[in-house]
């Protein structure tokens, strides 16, 4: 197994990944159907306040889901987080044109490196990560 700092490289903080950190588990209508028609407002509010915590990270290209989950729990052991799911996406590098006088052909093509993205979902009872919450 690789060292932890080589598996989890950096967090990805985009608008979409930050909004995924606070997805509501149930809407008000879903909560009413789950609890039944005579449910109190407090019970409905309790269900709608539950959120799914998803965090997006750039990880090593050769890392698998089990290694990512173990590394994530070890890195954030101080916060006592537990991983429920790990989804990985293999991101292809973009094609780039290299222009300049020194190249033999004016339009030589290059490519940025491939990388892997991991979307880590925490369990319901685990707390959030304070370092990434206020972003």
What pLDDT is stored for residue 45 in this prediction? Answer: 66
Give the bridge partners for 11, in sequence order.
57
How many domains does the chain divide into? Answer: 1
67, part of any domain = yes
Predicted pLDDT at 135:
58
In a domain, 14, yes or no: yes
Helices (H), ranges, the chain: 4-7, 15-19, 28-35, 41-49, 65-75, 130-133
Instruction: Provide the CB-side half-sphere exposure for 26 (13 A, CA).
Output: 16
**133 part of a folded domain:** no
- On whether residue 56 sits in a domain, the answer given is yes
Of 7-11, 24-28, 54-58, 80-84, least confident by mean pLDDT is: 24-28
Contact indicator for 111, 95 with CB cutoff of 8 Å: yes
The range of the structural domain enclosing residue 78 comes to 4-124
Q: What is the CATH number of the domain that holds 106?
A: 3.30.70.330
**Residue 101 in domain:** yes
More confident residue, 81 or 30: 81
Q: 91 CB contacts (<8 Å, ≥6 apart)?
A: 114, 115, 116, 117
Q: Is residue 78 part of a domain?
A: yes
Whether 54 is in a domain gets the answer yes
> Mind listing the pLDDT tens digit for each residue in 38-90?
666 666 666 666 667 888 999 999 999 999 999 999 998 888 899 999 999 99
């Amino acid at each position: 197994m690789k060292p932890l700092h080589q598996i989890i490289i950096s967090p990805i903080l985009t608008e979409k990944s930050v909004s995924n950190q606070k997805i509501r588990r149930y809407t008000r209508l879903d909560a009413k159907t789950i609890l039944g028609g005579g449910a109190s407002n407090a019970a409905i509010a309790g269900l709608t306040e539950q959120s799914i915590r998803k965090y997006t990270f750039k990880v090593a290209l050769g890392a698998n889901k089990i290694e990512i989950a173990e590394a994530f729990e070890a890195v954030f052991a101080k916060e006592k987080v537990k991983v429920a799911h790990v989804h990985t996406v293999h991101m292809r590098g973009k094609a780039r044109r290299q222009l300049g006088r020194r190249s033999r052909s004016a339009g030589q093509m290059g490519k940025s490196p491939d990388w892997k993205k991991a979307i880590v979902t925490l369990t319901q009872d685990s707390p959030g990560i304070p370092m990434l919450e206020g972003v």
